[in-house]
Structure 1
């Protein structure tokens, strides 16, 4: 169990940021689901509960998700239950238990960018951006690849997803229902551009750029079997897999082709009218 020297309820984002940057031992608190399994000794634990960042705002262009929104809020939002084939709701339903989803927050999941994350790959596939207090707006893909240092610590305010004509499919493999993924894969089709994102490699999620480009250029030319075979070979040569306590590098490499085949079947069979 982690310990705090002090618990602090921030009354503004600036207030929270000032406290955060005073010491590298200070930390913004989210749902604490992963943190509570650690033995970290922290300085000030900064609580954002009073800042009204637990809202999901939707207009005709964007979905804005506050950093304190819980996974259950995402799961239960009526618009997200159908947007892009309901991929966000379907992904969240696979994450552990309802009790955990009631506590885990979007901001903590995205900012920490854990390798086992299910959320980050789906958000990447949907072209998400993040809004940081000090760093401003940036693409999620740039944020997760940014080297974190004590000098660029920041506070995530919101995640923004553009509303586009899209369909996405998430799939993953777990040893048991409540466990972390051994491997997950998300495939999105936005207009006629495809994006493949692989997570739980076990390293952080990555966009398979060459695989995505190949599918985009050949999905309506090749037979399904040819597309699956060729794209699968590109995927395993492009994406680096690793070994940990859940699976070997070789097993993850083998799984990735099967997950891609499953995702392609779902996305290509979805009847969407494209302009």
Structure 2
């Protein structure tokens, strides 16, 4: 049995924000795949839930007038990887979405819940970091935009106030236009397991040189991270195996891997280097394939 004191189900955003404003103890539930597991293990007790599932429009995935892509916080992972907008413009996020759990989980789990849970293993996080995603948060009296790298504060901690709801995630046109991306997840089992290490690579290539290269890691530090030193080194350099190896080595340097029951520090660092190289080479392959179409 779940230890739930009460569950509220507002049908409008305004009603939900008013309820949060009145009661700071309410816990927002989206798909429920994270909260219900914690309840099952008795990590949280006597909880009051605020379900936002009935609020219309929070699951929309749309292209804005300025070319930005807005993904509603209630969009499920199934919706994300089936979206034509995602497939055409930011396929790297769709790859992260389809790697999460099984079909039943993907049909329920939402991108907003995945991010707000603050887990370093979140399958959406590396792609969102590599795409410089921004989060739109609203309270009764205020709305703010937070870059995703500032949203993650530490393991399981994110910058969302008790009276706020995450409305959507925004990927600006400048962060996806003329880029290619790839997401790789390594886990102990091939199916339905959390990542041991995950890597998202987004690249822009011109004249056989990296015009831009973004590398984001999951399960490689207390929060998802970007590999800034590797990215700076890559900018403007020629695409060669030697340079790709150097970039991958610098990516390892950005990580803060540690020993755990799931993997040793040395093994994680080996994975980071190898998966980074594979991710970079895949984006180069995609670029070449599309140029030859």
Please, what TM-score do these two structures have when normalized by structure 1?
0.88
Q: Deviations over 1:225-265 (max 9, x none)?
A: 21133222222222211233321222111111101110111
Output the CA distance in 2 between the equivalents of 1:121 and 1:15.
33
Which residue of structure 2 aligns with residue 209 of structure 1?
Answer: 228
Q: Deviations over 1:50-104 (max 9, x none)?
A: 22112112245021111111110101112212324x2222222221211110000
Output the CA distance in 1 between the equivalents of 2:183 and 2:284.
14
Rate the CA distance shift 1:202–1:22 in 2: closer, same or farther, 3 A: farther
Paired residues, number: 269
C-alpha root-mean-square deviation of aligned residues, in Å?
Answer: 2.3
2:273 to 257, 260, 266: 257
Match of 2:203, SS state, is strand
Gaps of 5+ in 1: none
- Equivalences for residues 67-146 of structure 1 within 5 A: 67-84=73-90, 86-134=91-139, 135-145=143-153
- Equivalences for residues 35-74 of structure 1 within 5 A: 35-38=35-38, 39=42, 40-52=44-56, 53-59=58-64, 61-74=67-80
Please, what TM-score do these two structures have when normalized by structure 2?
0.83
Output the CA distance in 1 between the equivalents of 2:100 and 2:135.
22
Output the CA distance in 1 between the equivalents of 2:160 and 2:194.
28
Which residue of structure 2 aligns with residue 12 of structure 1?
Answer: 12
Output the CA distance in 2 between the equivalents of 1:129 and 1:149.
12
Match of 1:33, SS state, is coil
Output the CA distance in 2 between the equivalents of 1:244 and 1:23.
38
How far off is 1:207 after superposition? 0.8
